[in-house]
Amino acid sequence: MSFSILGTGKAVPAYVMTNDELSTMVETNDEWIRTRTGIGERHICKSETITELCVEAANKALEDAGVTPAELDLIICSTMRGENVTPSQGCMIQKEIGATCAAFDVNAACSGFIYALDIAAGFFARKKVKKVLIVSMDNLSNIIDWTDRSTCVLFGDGGAAAVLGEGDDLLSIHLTAVGNDAAIRIPHGTNSSPFYEHEEERAVLHMAGNEVYKFATAAMANGIKRAVDEAGLQQSNVDVVIPHQANIRIINTAAKNLDIPRERFFCNVEHYGNTSSASVPIALDEASKSGFLKKGDIIAMCAFGGGLTTGSCILRWSKD
């Protein structure tokens, strides 16, 4: 037994920042950002808190699934940084939606949603749960360097959720990690200890873009190939690919290295930028609600990110 996805939901901040607006803050322009990344705009938190967006996404997914908070047996939140160090973001979601089940966070950066799916699959396999809520949320705008044009143009804020129930729709899932703090790193930034002997660093994202690009293009194609093999399928059996929305060129290169037609890849990076662990579930929610995804479709999902981590999986979509 694995699980079926019963419902999805997303929540993004109201404020939309265009490339032209960004060009007034750093030396960049719409043409560079669009041709190098495919990004046209991103949503940025102003008044919204992390918890508010998580709760909005969670409530939409619960409604879509027809499941009440009281029915939940587990909440997993994938995030690099929740509202507080403790309580976990999972516990904050549990409190706000009025659930009573166990709750915790998982940090696998942009691969967080797929890591959370695999963890949930273990709970289902052990028959410990009947209904699980996964919420993936990252608020990159408060941890990027807004003076660094090579990174600040890439990211946006957002959250998304999925409700899982008992079923057999997870056909394969594969996680990887290669410990590497040179390609992507965000330091904590504060240390209250008067005894600590190291210098404090600003809590902003540092990234070696070209290194991550090479890693990502290989990771996406290899991850999907491996997940397809483990599911006992052929690439031609994949109806829809939901890739991590980091850069349209990464998606296009991965598509060229796979035997899956490019038009089967769902892409919304133009409107959100890279929303880290929310990227795959936001795309899943939009693919489902727009009709791109149909009942019975075989989906390949693939993400990569800080860690460096990757997650790939093959799922059957049995929702109407």
Window contacting ligand UT7 (CB under 6 A); options: 57-65, 93-101, 173-181, 206-214: 206-214
Nearest-CB residue to ligand UT7? 209
Q: Rounded to whole angstroms, how far apart are CA atoms 49 and 79?
A: 14
Is residue 246 a contact residue for ligand UT7 (CB under 6 A)? yes
Query: Is the CB of 2 or the CB of 247 nearer to ligand UT7?
Result: 247
According to DSSP, residue 274 is labeled B
Query: Is the CB of 39 or the CB of 129 nearer to ligand UT7?
Result: 39
Give the three-class secondary structure for 54. helix
Catalytic residue annotation: 110, 244, 274
Is residue 153 a contact residue for ligand UT7 (CB under 6 A)? yes
DSSP for 144-194, please give it. S-TT-HHHHTTB-EEEEEEEEESSS-EEEEEEEEEEETTTEE--------T
Angle between helices 30-37 and 248-256 in degrees, nearest 10: 30
Window contacting ligand UT7 (CB under 6 A); options: 1-9, 58-66, 138-146, 147-155: 147-155
Compute how many other C-beta atoms are within 10 angstroms of the C-beta atom of residue 144.
17
Is residue 13 a contact residue for ligand UT7 (CB under 6 A)? no
Are 160 and 60 spatial neighbours (Cβ–Cβ below 8 Å)?
no
Q: Quick one: tokens of 112?
A: 């967080």
Window contacting ligand UT7 (CB under 6 A); options: 33-41, 69-77, 96-104, 114-122: 33-41
Is residue 209 a contact residue for ligand UT7 (CB under 6 A)? yes
Q: Rounded to whole angstroms, how far apart are CA atoms 37 and 18?
A: 14
Window contacting ligand UT7 (CB under 6 A); options: 32-40, 54-62, 80-88, 92-100: 32-40
Q: Quick one: tokens of 180?
A: 């590497």
Mask 276-305, x = binds ligand UT7 (CB under 6 A)? -----------------------------x
Report the nearest approach of ligand UT7 to the CB of residue 86 (Å).
26
Is residue 247 a contact residue for ligand UT7 (CB under 6 A)? yes
Binding residues among 90-119 for ligand UT7 as defined by CB under 6 A? 110
Are 1 and 132 spatial neighbours (Cβ–Cβ below 8 Å)?
no
Letter for the amino acid at 241?
V
Q: Rounded to whole angstroms, how far apart are CA atoms 117 and 47?
A: 30
Is residue 231 a contact residue for ligand UT7 (CB under 6 A)? no
Is residue 212 a contact residue for ligand UT7 (CB under 6 A)? yes
**Cα dihedral 110/114/117/118 (nearest 10):** -120
Of positions 19, 107, 222, 274, contacts ligand UT7 by CB under 6 A: 274
Q: Quick one: tokens of 182?
A: 């040179």
Q: Residues interacting with ligand UT7, by CB under 6 A? A: 28, 32-33, 36-37, 110, 149-150, 153, 207, 209-210, 212-213, 216, 246-247, 274, 305
